[in-house]
Amino acid sequence: MAHELSTKSTLMDASLAGPLGVVVLKEGREKTLKLGHPWIFSKGIERFSGVNGQLVEVFSYKREHLGIGYVNTKSNIRLRMLGFLETQRENLLERLIKNSIKKRENLQINSNALRLVNGENDGLCGLIVDLYDRTAVVQFGTLGMELLKDEVVQALKNSLDIKAIYEKSTSISRKEEGLLPQKGWLTEEKSEQPIEIFEHDVRFLVDVVHGQKTGFFLDQREMRFYLRSYVKDKKVLNLCAYSGGFSLHALKAKALKVVSVDISGEACRQMQENTDLNGLENHEIIESDVFSFLQNTTEMFDVVIVDPPAFIKSKKDTSKGVRAYRELNRMALRRVQPGGVLMTSSCSYNLEESLFDTILLEASLMEKREVKLVQRHLMAPDHLKNIAFREGEYLKTVVLLC
Ligand SMILES: C[S@@+](CC[C@H](N)C(=O)[O-])C[C@H]1O[C@@H](n2cnc3c(N)ncnc32)[C@H](O)[C@@H]1O
């Protein structure tokens, strides 16, 4: 029976062969693709013929054409799709990129810095594109997307009025894909650093080459806007402040005083420059580890923001990371005046929302503080979310009335 099936499959595959490689899925494995989830794991593949990383046409076991994707035989995520049930190869990347950009136009984001392509969520698996005024910063996270680099660059040039494209492919996922980190300009023209951007009425200088992430934490933009409603005449503490995103919005919204803490000297220098650029005062910038800062201060604040780096980088770090989140939030809670606000985030992909809630509950019980949840938030809206793809969720923010 098995032999019959495989002979039949080979004959049918020959008729499927076009200029692209071919993937045939195991029986029933097309269901998740049809729901919009773009990945197939190694166990879901019946047959693959083609070149590793290059484009393939994807067929169900019953030979229904499901779309186009690419395979990496080194990765457990064996197949990633491009687009949603897209079967036309011609101009595929340009069509998908233009579509992503168009979707953002309707969001009316009050900034010239935004995410234009959000990887799997936009049907462009392995590709991130962030725009800073007229400079695009791109990240290629997979072998398949790496091989499409020239096409992506051309598609971006055709779709946007941009001056330069900078590649910052430094994500850890590249290692799993058998790729080394890669950085550099992909256009002849380079943008002078830093680049000035605006968010609402606040100006920021962003160094896309030397800064963290693609230069700025775009994913927290709407939380920075939201914070403004809480801070008038209030004392604000911003823990893990980077280049002062939350701090500057708070000062613009007439906070009495902001204290910002970050371990990075470079981030603190950038924060001071951004403060000066906006002509803002009453900003105390402290270069320190947040844990030691919190151990040594007794000052109380009306609003405290906690936005640390990912403490749980992989599943094996979970218990250590949970302890770090609990401890940091406990220490932060001690600094919140009764009736004040704690805005706390986790950008650990491996920390589920419900576990984050539990951590916050434990921290509040340990501190004997009764807290109420006022708001929840995921990523900023330009980080469009494919609901079928839970793996795309990493950032979560909770606002607590303390
Ligand atoms: C997620 S970013 C914060 C982004 C910021 N909220 C914004 O809106 O731009 C995390 C920041 O934490 C800083 N950081 C990392 N470990 C730290 C530590 N132990 N103490 C203080 N800051 C730390 C990093 O330098 C980085 O700037």
pLDDT beyond 70 at 12? no
Rounded to an integer, what distance in angstroms lies between the CA atom of residue 63 and that of residue 120? 24
In ligand 1, the atom with minimum distance to the C-alpha of 243 is 9
Contacts of 271 (CB under 8 A, 6+ apart): 241, 242, 243, 244, 247, 260, 262, 283, 285
CA of 242, closest atom in ligand 1: 27
CA 289 to ligand 1 centroid distance, Å:
9
Whole-number Å distance between alpha carbons of 134 and 184 = 17
347 CB within 6 A, ligand 1: yes
Q: Which residue has the tokens 């598609």?
A: 155
Least confident segment among 7-11, 148-152, 213-217: 7-11
Adjacent-strand bridge partners of 398: 344, 376
Output the CA 151–ligand 1 centroid distance in Å.
34
pLDDT, residue 119, reads: 97
CA of 90 from ligand 1 middle (Å) equals 43
Contacts of 108 (CB under 8 A, 6+ apart): none
Ligand 1 atom closest to 238 (CA) = 6
pLDDT at 171 over 50: yes
Cα 265 from Cα 226, distance rounded (Å) = 27
Neighbours of 24 (CB within 10 A): 23
DSSP helix/strand/coil, 263: coil
Domain boundaries, the chain: 2-82, 92-185, 217-401
Alpha carbon of 58 to ligand 1 centroid (Å): 42
* Assigned token pair, 396: 């979560």
Amino acid at 247: S
In the predicted structure, residue 2 carries a pLDDT above the cut 60: no
Residue 263 CB–ligand 1 contact under 6 Å: yes
Within a 10 A sphere around the Cβ of 184, how many other Cβ atoms?
Answer: 10
Report the separation in Å between the CA atom of 264 and the middle of ligand 1, taken as the mean of its atom positions. Answer: 8
The per-residue pLDDT for range 352-368, each reduced to its tens digit, is 999 999 999 999 999 99
Ligand 1 within 6 A of CB of 289: yes
Q: Tell me the C-alpha distance between 320 and 389, whole Å.
A: 27
One of 3.30.70.580, 1.10.357.10, 3.30.750.80, 3.20.20.480 is the CATH number of 92-185, namely: 3.30.750.80
How far is the C-alpha of 28 from the C-alpha of 149, rounded, in Å? 33
Q: What φ, ψ does residue 192 adopt, rounded to 5°?
A: -70, 140
* Average pLDDT value for the chain: 94
Contact 400, 340 (CB under 8 A): no
Ligand 1, pocket-test mutation among 130, 219, 242, 273, most atoms within 8 A of CB: 242
* Distance (Å) of CA 78 to CA 28, 48, 221, 310: 16, 10, 34, 26
Query: CA angle, 390 as apex, 213 and 27 as ends, to 5°?
Result: 125
Inform me whether the pLDDT recorded for 15 exceeds 90.
Answer: no
Amino acid occupying residue 349: Y
- What string of H, E and C letters represents the secondary structure of 83-134? CCCCCCCCCHHHHHHHHHHHHHHCCCCCECEEEEEEHHHHCECCEEEEEECC
How do residues 176-192 score in pLDDT, each as one tens digit? 899 999 999 999 999 99
Cis link prior to 194 (omega < 30° from 0)?
A: yes
Q: Is 268's C-beta closer than 6 angstroms to any atom of ligand 1? A: no
Q: How far is the CA of 112 from the centre of ligand 1 (A)?
A: 23
Is the pLDDT confidence value at 127 over 50? Answer: yes
State how far the Cα of 145 lies from the Cα of 126, in Å rounded to an integer: 6
The per-residue pLDDT for range 242-280, each reduced to its tens digit, is: 999 999 999 999 999 999 999 999 999 999 999 999 999
Task: End-to-end CA distance of the chain: give it in Å, rounded.
Answer: 66
pLDDT of residue 176: 87
pLDDT of 17 above 90: no
Helices marked H in 339-402: 353-366
Average pLDDT value for residue range 76-100: 95
Is the predicted pLDDT of residue 14 greater than 70, yes or no? no
Homologous superfamily assigned to 2-82: PUA domain (2.30.130.10)
Backbone angles phi, psi at 341, to 5 degrees: -125, 135
Cβ(286)–Cβ(264) under 8 Å?
no
217-401 folds as: Rossmann fold (3.40.50)
Q: Give this prediction's pTM.
A: 0.94
* Angle between helices 318-333 and 353-366 in degrees, nearest 10: 50
CB 195 within 8 Å of CB 209: no
217 Cβ inside 6 Å of ligand 1: yes
Cα 277 to ligand 1 centroid, rounded to whole Å: 21
Residue nearest to atom 18 of ligand 1 (CA): 289
